[in-house]
Amino acid sequence: MLNYNGRILSKEEVSISPDNRAFKYGDGIFETIKVEHKKVIFAEDHYFRLMASSRMLRMHIAMHFTLEYFEEEILNLVEALKLSNARIRFSVFRKTGGLYTPTTNETDFLIEASELKNALKEPYEIELYKDHYVYAGLLSTIKSTNRLINVIANVFREENGYDNLLLLNEQKRLAEATNGNIFLVKGTTIMTPALTEGCIKGIIRKKIIEQLQKDPNYSIEETEISPFELQKADEVFITNAIIGIQPVTKYRRKTYEVQVSREIGTKLRASALLG
């Protein structure tokens, strides 16, 4: 079952036009959200990122589309599917009409839910993806429905037996992983690519930065990061809304510790449950 514009329907009842703009032009955005024990984790952060992305793409969101409505519609679908823990994809796309120039900026939404599974893995090996680059611009920070580089990178990943790949920007600096943001730990300093490097403006990324800014034991830097820093790091971890924190254990001949990753992950989970 799906939630299409506030109506709970079976997949067979949902009719998406072949002229759908997300299909034709990638003219859509989405949020991947975790629900635990029928609670939408970091609902406010996801909602405001969705609103900011829609404004950047000049989409019009209806006045009734409030934070409360956003959360309620997610939980309506979770309840209909009799789930307690769920992985949610909340897609918003411009209504059908026009070619490159849309005939309207009004939007539709579609919510999908599936059973939440533990996605953490160990050991966990990464490699660089060099065939194509992420553009270091503001549009790259949006979770748009055009994720072509992530798709072909993951085809390459599967063909070569890695657990994840790191994407580079056109300056050949680290941008992000194929499914989340990347952090490097060197002593008490934790680094992550700045938003100007072309990484997704991740919710968990934001939460970890906020957490570390208050932690006297660590300093956090949003900066430019060369791939060579991977060989110098003590730890590396990847973040997204579903896994939270995924520690990396191997990059080429380099092996990593996981102590700091697990410590930060424990604090993040506590903040999610209390938030």
- 197/200 Cα distance (integer angstroms): 9
Whether residue 119 is predicted with pLDDT greater than 80 in this model: the reply is no
pLDDT of residue 272: 77
Contacts of 45 (CB under 8 A, 6+ apart): 203, 206, 207
pLDDT band at 269 (very low <50, low <70, confident <90, very high): confident
Contacts of 19 (CB under 8 A, 6+ apart): 96, 97
Tell me the backbone φ, ψ of residue 112, rounded to 5 degrees.
-115, 145
Say which residue, 271 or 232, is predicted with more confidence: 232
CB 172 within 8 A of CB 187: no
Whether residue 118 is predicted with pLDDT greater than 80 in this model: the reply is no
Which two structure tokens, joined as six digits, stand for 209? 């930065």
CB 156 within 8 A of CB 122: no
CB 40 within 8 A of CB 74: yes
**What average pLDDT is seen over the chain?**
96
CB 88 within 8 A of CB 36: no
Counting residues of the chain whose pLDDT is more than 90, the rounded percentage is: 95
Counting residues of the chain whose pLDDT is more than 70, the rounded percentage is: 99
Model pTM? 0.95
Say which residue, 17 or 275, is predicted with more confidence: 17
C-alpha pair distances (Å), 99 with each of 103, 118, 142: 8, 41, 22
What is the CA 211 to chain-centroid distance, rounded?
Answer: 18
Helix axes 259-274, 203-213, angle to 10 degrees: 100
pLDDT digits (tens, 9 = 90+) for 51-93: 999 999 999 999 999 999 999 999 999 999 999 999 999 999 9
Whether residue 273 is predicted with pLDDT greater than 80 in this model: the reply is no
For residues 118-139, give the mean pLDDT: 93
pLDDT of residue 274: 58
pLDDT digits (tens, 9 = 90+) for 228-266: 999 999 999 999 999 999 999 999 999 999 999 999 999
Q: Which amino acid is at 114?
A: S
Q: In residues, how long is the chain?
A: 275
Whether residue 275 is predicted with pLDDT greater than 70 in this model: the reply is no
